[in-house]
Amino acid sequence: MILALLFLIAGSTVEIDSTAPHPIEIEVASDNQQQCIFRIEGRTLSQSALRKILKAERDKQREIHISSASNAPWRCIAGAVYDAQKSGFETVGFVTTPVSE
């Protein structure tokens, strides 16, 4: 399976298909002990709960959009990408904020 990476930059013009289901937006962070924290629609989830949600949503042709806190270890972000791919999602986007010059 090919994992397509879609990079979205906040403030850019992005063409949106209004007939497509809204994406699943995953926020990735970590706590003081560097444990991964995942949030979907304001709900804090463990990695196993995240996997269950992704598996339940995989047949709905939705995209995944991942944003992360500045303190999120790369292993947490990569874990969310891996779980999305393993669950059958073909498009994973990274939502970022542009660095001001």
Q: Identify residue 27 by its one-letter amino acid code.
A: E
pLDDT at 12: 39
**pTM: predicted TM-score of the whole model, two decimal places:** 0.73
Backbone angles phi, psi at 2, to 5 degrees: -95, 130
Residue 74 token pair: 């790369």
Which is more confident, 69 or 101? 69
Residues in CB range of 81: below 8 A, 6 or more apart: 3, 66, 92
Give the pLDDT confidence of 23-81 residue by residue, as tens digits.
999 999 998 888 999 999 889 999 999 999 999 988 777 899 999 988 899 999 999 99
